[in-house]
Each structure stands twice: as structure tokens, then as C-alpha cells.
Amino acid sequence: MDKLLQHLQRVGVHYLKSENVLMLEISENRLHLASEIDRLIHELLGELQSSRLEKVRFECPKILLDHLNCTRAKMDIIGERVIYKRSFMSPLNVSTQDYEVWSFSDDNSILFLSEVMGTSFSDAETFLTGMNTELPSQVKEMFTVYIVNNEPVGVVFPHIEPNTANEGRIFWIGIHPKFLRTGLGKNLHSIGLYRLKNDFKAMSYLGMTQIDNMPMRNIMVSNGCIQNNNTVISLQYSI
């Protein structure tokens, strides 16, 4: 499987692997490589029975998916997302007093995240464990908490996407239920962008959200992100 993943990476398909889930992603329309990508994914799915993986998730531009016949036949479509990009050549106006970086393994951090996510302590801990598995070299710097009047109101997880030219991403972002519909989401997202540029040394930002998530789409536009013309299809294969 490792050789197949390396080959996929050479043709532009990035991957992140946790204990049970493999994430595949290609953001470019590499139509000239469609048949090779399709063959490699087909072979990869065929090897899953001999691995510990339970799911494979794949995201690619809709125009490319139309040329991946085997992939479309084997995987289920689970969503459609919009891509936004931003260069970090222009300045970002964020006060460094607006946020704190918390330990991802501290009980208070896990408890706060569970409240933001609206889930159990155990599920939030599992989420962070998965993040640690996928991004072990960055995870200690990712747990970024937006502070207003000495109170935590939201969390954002900036990181550099592995195997890219310093492309910044946000692993997850969320406002505490107490502060929903207060307009603070724009500030939380801008803090993530600020940290990507200044702390993670990202050259650019790529963000994706569900096509019907208009609040998040509006936030990205208000923070200077430009929408890509192509949408991204999310697919999943389960053992």
C-alpha cells in the first residue's frame, strides 16, 4: 500500500493516514493523468482487506471525477464543497492578544472542544488523537483559542498541509454555542489565517466548506479569500 500511496502522491494526490481512516485529496484538474489516478485508487481499494483501515475518503474536483470511472463505481458520494484561496502577500489585521495556544492533551482543552463541538469528552479526545496521528509534527501548536473579555469563545486548528509548498489549511474551526450568531466567526477565521502566515510560515491558504454553508462561505470572502470556479466532490469507501 505504501508504494501505491507514494505513486499517488507523485501524480498529485495528497494523503493523510490515521489508524483507521485514509484521506486522499487532489485539488487540481489533472485530466491528463485521470486514467492513472483511477487505476491507482482502484488498486488501493483492492488492498484494504489486508490493512487496518476501515474507511477511505477522497476529495477531487468534480470535473476530474467525471473521468474516474472505477473510483465513481466503488465509492459513495457524501458531499460537495467549495474551494477558497488566499495569498499571504497582503497584510492581515489581527491582534496577538486575541488568542491563546492551548495544549491539545490538557483536560480543560478537551472539555472546551467538546462544548464547542456539542459532543462528549470522549469523542473530542478521539478527534484530537486522530489529529495528532495525522499531523504529529504540528499538533502541539494547533489548538488556537479565540479570547474575548478573558473568556474563550471559539477554537481553530491551523496547520501546513503535508507534501505541499507551505500551503496553509484549517483542520477544524468552531464557535462555542453561547456565542453563535454574534459575528465572531469572522474574527476566529482571521486568527487562523494570521497564525498560518506568521507562526506556520504559510505562503497561501486553501479553505473548503460545504456548498450550502453560506455563513462560512461569507466569512472566507470577508477575510479576502477568493472562490475557485470548480467544486470538490467528497467520496467515501468503507470496508
CB 230 within 8 A of CB 82: no
3-state secondary structure of 37: helix
**Residue 105 falls inside a structural domain:** yes
In a shared domain, residues 76 and 104: no
**Residue 89 falls inside a structural domain:** no
Count other Cβ atoms within 10 Å, centred on residue 222: 12
Give the CATH number, domain containing residue 130.
3.40.630.30
pLDDT at 49: 76
In a shared domain, residues 114 and 183: yes
In a shared domain, residues 105 and 139: yes
DSSP calls for 168-210: EEEEEEEE-GGGTTSSTHHHHHHHHHHHHHHTS--SEEEEEEE
More confident residue, 230 or 146: 146
Q: 118-156, pLDDT tens digit by residue?
A: 999 999 999 999 899 889 999 999 999 999 999 999 999
Express as a percent the part of the chain with pLDDT over 90: 74
**Residue 85 falls inside a structural domain:** no
**Residue 101 falls inside a structural domain:** yes
Q: 90-110, pLDDT tens digit by residue?
A: 887 776 679 999 999 999 999
Strand 99-101's sheet: what is its strand order? Answer: 14-17, 21-25, 55-61, 226-238, 76-87, 204-210, 167-175, 151-160, 144-148, 99-101
**Residue 193 falls inside a structural domain:** yes
pLDDT at 95: 67
CB 152 within 8 A of CB 110: no
pLDDT at 164: 82
**Residue 214 falls inside a structural domain:** no
pLDDT at 214: 95
**Residue 151 falls inside a structural domain:** yes
pLDDT at 28 over 70: yes
In a shared domain, residues 102 and 191: yes
Q: What is the mean pLDDT of residues 207-219?
A: 94
Task: Name the domain count of the chain.
Answer: 2
Q: Which range of residues forms the domain containing residue 68?
A: 2-80+234-238
pTM, to two decimals: 0.84
Q: 52-88, pLDDT tens digit by residue?
A: 888 999 999 999 999 999 999 999 999 999 999 999 9
In a shared domain, residues 118 and 197: yes
In a shared domain, residues 37 and 131: no
**Residue 146 falls inside a structural domain:** yes
3-state secondary structure of 45: helix
pLDDT at 48: 82
Distance (Å, rounded) from C-alpha 58 to C-alpha 67?
15
Angle of CA points 221, 154, 210, to nearest 5°: 45
Distance (Å, rounded) from C-alpha 197 to C-alpha 195?
5
pLDDT at 163: 79
Average model confidence (pLDDT) for the chain? 92
Q: 171-203, pLDDT tens digit by residue?
A: 999 999 999 989 899 999 999 999 999 999 999
